[in-house]
């Protein structure tokens, strides 16, 4: 295993990107290569970025938009731009492509994940590079973007602001805390995990109504200044701390 891995993250400023970037900054084996959104608007900057990386985590994507075709086309274009930049620069970094455990569902967002993954696998096959698709469960943690990143983010924001969350579909949700997800990415980066695709194990599975009930209970504890009764339950502890972050959001 090499001593140092130079890692860049497209979508570095997003919820997951920010957490991974900060986490990797604490690892001695990682050198972070900063990424700026405007790199996708400048071919020379994008080529310079990919040339500096041993590993690229591709998180940049649109996951919600009124125009689904625009969302699909944009997500595919971002993958093609990365491939073109790597080809032009003559480099073969390990590509970690962020997808979802729901990749097989209908809809153009999920299609963009399936098709984007195929493009990177084809690139790896013809170039001799390496591509790993990360099938990510529903990710939660402090300051995830409400109405965008996760049902947990939306519920936390509404509860902290005295609003009543609405359950659209009371389905089971597989959940992973963003810090646990960061560790999974790190293990893939350093070669301890080699599967492709790879789905980080979710840490809990709860129905939407159960998540809401827990968060409402935690709000009561907070308002009454009572301690969390089961601090050794890691999922509940992480969920409680996630809610607390939204009271000043």
Q: What is the pLDDT of residues 180-231, one digit of tens each?
A: 999 999 999 999 999 999 999 999 999 999 999 999 999 999 888 887 777 6
Global confidence as pTM: 0.94
User: Count of alpha carbons within 13 Å of 46, Cβ hemisphere only?
Assistant: 20
Question: Which of 115, 133, 131, 114 has the alpha carbon at shortest distance from 123?
Answer: 131
Q: How many helices (H) and strands (E) does the chain have?
A: 8, 8
172, two tokens: 């089971």
pLDDT score, position 58 = 98
130, two tokens: 């390496």
Neighbours of 243 (CB within 10 A): 24
List Cβ neighbours of 232 (8 Å cut-off, separation of 6 or more).
none
Element (H, E) at 214: helix 208-223
pLDDT score, position 233 = 87
Q: What is the mean pLDDT of residues 32-45?
A: 97
Domains and CATH numbers, the chain: 1-136 (3.40.50.720), 138-175+202-249 (3.40.50.720)
Q: What is the mean pLDDT of residues 100-118?
A: 94
Outline where DSSP puts E strands in 11-153: 30-33, 55-58, 94-100, 130-136, 138-140
| CB-based contact 50:93 (threshold 8 Å) | yes
- Mapped onto helix, strand or coil, the DSSP state of residue 96 is strand
pLDDT score, position 44 = 97
């Amino acid at each position: 295993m090499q001593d140092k891995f130079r890692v860049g993250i497209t979508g570095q400023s997003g919820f997951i990107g920010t957490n991974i970037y900060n986490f990797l900054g604490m690892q001695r084996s990682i050198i972070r290569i900063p990424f700026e959104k405007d790199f996708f608007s400048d071919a020379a900057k994008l080529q310079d970025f990919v040339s500096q990386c041993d590993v690229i985590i591709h998180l940049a994507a649109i996951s919600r938009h009124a125009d689904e075709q625009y969302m699909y086309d944009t997500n595919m274009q971002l993958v093609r731009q990365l491939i073109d930049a790597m080809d032009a620069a003559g480099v073969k970094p390990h590509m970690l492509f962020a997808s979802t455990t729901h990749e097989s569902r209908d809809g153009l967002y999920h299609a963009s994940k399936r098709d984007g993954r195929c493009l990177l696998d084809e690139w790896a096959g013809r170039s001799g590079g390496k591509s790993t698709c990360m099938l990510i469960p529903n990710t939660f943690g402090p300051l995830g973007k409400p109405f965008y990143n996760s049902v947990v983010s939306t519920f936390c924001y509404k509860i902290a602001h005295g609003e009543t969350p609405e359950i659209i579909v009371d389905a089971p949700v597989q959940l992973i805390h963003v810090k646990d997800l960061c560790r999974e990415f790190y293990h893939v980066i350093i070669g301890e995990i080699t599967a492709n695709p790879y789905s980080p194990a979710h840490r809990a599975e709860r129905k939407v109504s159960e998540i809401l009930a827990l968060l409402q209970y935690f709000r009561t504890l907070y308002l009454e200044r009572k301690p969390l009764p089961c601090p050794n339950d890691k999922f509940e502890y992480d969920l409680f701390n996630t809610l607390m972050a939204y009271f000043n959001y």
